[in-house]
Structure 1
Amino acid sequence: MYDVIVVGARCAGAATALLLARQGVRVLLTDRAAFPSDTVSTHLLHPTGVARLRSWGLLEPLLAGGCPPIESISFRAADDLVLHGAPYACDGVAMSLAPRRTVLDAMLVEAAGAAGAEVRVGASFQGVVWEDGRAVGAEFGGRRAFAERAALVVGADGRHSAVARQVGAKTVRDAGTFGCQFYGYWRGLPDVGTQIFVGGGQAVLAYPTHDGDHLVLVGWPHARFAEVRQDIDRHFLAAVAAGAPAIAEHLTDAARSGRITGSGDLGNYVRESSGPGWVLVGDAATAKDPVTAQGIGDAFAQTQSLADRLPAALAAGPRAVDAATAAHTADRDRAGGAAFETTLTFAMGGNSAALLPALRAIESRPDLISMFYGIYAGQVTLEEFVAAAGQGATDPKA
């Protein structure tokens, strides 16, 4: 009945269904959750991801729905050094966004349905249907169990992907876990864009999101996760008070919206991502520490890559489908390799002291400050930035 079954309907899965359905592919999009619903996330979209939303016709609706554009970033690299600049532009887009996942995911699911994908929520994935060693469909439980067949099964079901387990996708690289983070929402913070404070073995971030709220986030080394989660509120507020006192004064109980949440499940890995009749996208395929906040943008890039290849391959048959998914995976690894290594360097805390001379050198250069922010977006390598800053002898990975 279907060309493609997508398991998981958040950023990676819903975007995959949307782009394929717009090209006439018969798509079944499934998720055990209903929408709108929340999930743990940094929320942040660099201009690379914002540019994709624009190209998909979804940026204007998101902005019209109250997601504030973020057009400036301040980065406190030391007590005497704060860098002020704009996000690093991509395809003429020089803004970031931090949409609530209740809004972004629901918008993508709705758009996929409007494009012609069939959406079934409350559908709990149970297993892959196999035929002669090839995935040919999927089985689901829930209030009404069902099974469907398709030429391709897409696993977009996150870090603990059940599809990945079912198809036996091996972890081809496990780079470890280095951080943990928690965040909450508060009203009344001044809207001055993204604010980043690093130092003392932790990072504090604040940026605007929907409904007049700011997301305030604290990141610690993973070694502190067990300690922090014993009393999240106390550790969180103490960290903000120590690292960003100008933010802390706004974090009153009256201004707070909901509880503080987060995760220590922030491993860096790459899984085998394609095989006969199946492919993985998003965090099901590969994930890296959210210190660079590239997760949503990575998901969008992967879905665009896959959607560009699949319609013609589906028309040509199973071998062409498998060749297309293998080519997609290989291109993803080539394109994302440098950003993966940079994220590991940042997650391990290897950037701070080594980068400080370069950061001091660009204090009065808004163009190079934006280029520095491009490192976090995966658009610029550490080496490219250090060379541009005139610090070519500095090894940022030392």
Structure 2
Amino acid sequence: MYDVIIVGARCAGASTALLLARQGVRVLLADRVVFPSDTVSTHLLHPAGVAHLRSWGLLDALLASGCPKIESIAFQPAPELTLRAAPYPAADGSTLVLAPRRTKLDLLLVEAATAAGATVREGVSFQRPVWQDGRVVGAEFRDRDGRAFAEQAALLIGTDGRNSEVAKAVGAQVLRDEGNFGCQYYGYWSGLPDNGAQVFVGQGKAVLAFPTHDGSHLVLVGWPRERFEEVKRDLERHFLDEVEALAPEIRGYLTEENRTARIVGSGDMANRIRESAGPGWVLAGDAAVAKDAVTAQGIGDAFAQAQSLADLLPAALAAGPAAVDEATAAHVIGRDRDGANGFETTLAFATGGGGDALGPIFRAIEDRPELISMFFGVYAGRVAMGEFAAAVGAAG
């Protein structure tokens, strides 16, 4: 019998397994894929998320894997206006941003969880929870050869993404659904100069470029959701046309010779909060709170939720089922409190409230790097839009 079964071994699940196993919790971490494995992702990890990796002792290993440091951001809301500054600092004062390939980051986390003592089962699919007297007491799985097996645990943690099978199986209700407003596609190209993270926006669309593993840059294009079907029908043309329109200096590098991977993406950018805890179960990461990728807060959110669960669960697991349920309920309350600003900010940007409408403010802060950095803090979910606007007004 395990103390905890975690379904989904990417950022939320593997980091939760790592932190719990380090405290002596008996953890089973299961995923249907075998790592290293890629997944659609914005890649970007804001300074607060990087700070988690540093505190867990994993930052040096990620950097050693070839993940380049990003120490500045250039935001271009108009062709004649570029705002450049350091990212908004984490609580420890660090301004470092990273954009790791998920094949590297997720594998690092899974290996760290294994080294900490977690049992990792790859290539197994979650089938259903095991119930006893109205409480989840384990989970059933099936391996790639079709063999079924079940494991017992005091707590089932679902970290299996936006379309969480755990959430469906435990009947987690959607408490808030704000809609789906965007779609994005991205690819990788070599040969681009390292100018930090670059963001170009206009007319409801965006182009992002930042360095990632293997000497490549990720180049991403985001459109309004109503363009999704049109874009899919001729993806290559639409992608390159938007880069040409918003970031012509980037377009020249996007040649077939420089391409290192195909263009991939998603139209699933729903902004949704699910019921996230119940008797013997809890959800974390995108399974609990899904947000539009426009603000690239997902990986950082996953790390913060993993740390919260790791802070609350070990003592509760030792105290019994009632204490476990109290701990998961407290986790959800804290998550909603700490993440409210990030959710609302993401929703504002996803619906067009953070782009063209801010033109006058952007021009007012063009020569104020401390205010530009603060605006980047809005994107990262660390600064409320009202707080930023007040600081701009106070600066004259």
TM-score (norm. length: structure 1): 0.97
Distance in 2, matches of 1:38 and 1:380, equals 31
1:53 match: 53
Distance in 1, matches of 2:291 and 2:142, equals 31
2:220 match: 217
1:283 match: 286
How many equivalent pairs are there? 393
- State which of 344, 347, 352 in structure 1 corresponds to 2:347: 344
Q: Which amino acid aligns with 2:367?
A: S
C-alpha displacement of 1:391? 7.1
Q: Which amino acid aligns with 1:264?
A: G
Distance in 1, matches of 2:330 and 2:286, equals 18
2:120 match: 119
Distance in 2, matches of 1:66 and 1:124, equals 31
Distance in 2, matches of 1:180 and 1:391, equals 36
Distance in 1, matches of 2:350 and 2:369, equals 25
Q: 1:349 to 1:391 in 2, by over 3 A?
A: farther
C-alpha displacement of 1:140? 0.2
C-alpha displacement of 1:200? 2.6
Distance in 1, matches of 2:178 and 2:259, equals 36
Q: Which amino acid aligns with 2:22?
A: R
**Does 2:303 match 1:297?**
no
**Does 2:6 match 1:6?**
yes
Counterpart contact for 2:34–2:123, Cα < 8 Å: yes
**Does 2:170 match 1:162?**
no
Counterpart contact for 1:276–1:322, Cα < 8 Å: yes
Distance in 2, matches of 1:352 and 1:104, equals 30
C-alpha displacement of 1:248? 0.1
**Does 2:380 match 1:377?**
yes
- State which of 260, 265, 274 in structure 2 corresponds to 1:271: 274
1:197 match: 200
1:132 match: 133
1:387 match: 390
Deviations 1:128-156 (CA, angstroms, capped at 9, x unpaired): 00000000000000223210000000001
SS of residue paired to 1:74: strand
SS of residue paired to 1:298: helix
1:93 match: 94
SS of residue paired to 1:218: strand
Q: Which amino acid aligns with 1:99?
A: P
Deviations 1:253-303 (CA, angstroms, capped at 9, x unpaired): 000011100000110000000000000000000111010000000000011
C-alpha displacement of 1:358? 1.6
C-alpha displacement of 1:226? 0.5
Q: Which amino acid aligns with 2:70?
A: I
Counterpart contact for 1:154–1:281, Cα < 8 Å: yes
C-alpha displacement of 1:191? 0.3
Give structure 1 stretches of 5+ with no counterpart. Answer: 394-398
Identity of aligned residues (%): 69
Deviations 1:344-377 (CA, angstroms, capped at 9, x unpaired): 1100111223322221111111111111100111
Distance in 2, matches of 1:205 and 1:391, equals 31
2:262 match: 259
SS of residue paired to 1:257: strand
2:107 match: 106
SS of residue paired to 2:162: coil
Give structure 2 stretches of 5+ with no counterpart. Answer: none
C-alpha displacement of 1:246? 0.1
Runs of 4+ in 1 over 3 A off after TM superposition: none
Distance in 2, matches of 1:391 and 1:241, equals 38
2:37 match: 37
Distance in 2, matches of 1:73 and 1:178, equals 25
Matches within 5 A, 1:49-88: 49-88=49-88
Counterpart contact for 1:75–1:195, Cα < 8 Å: yes
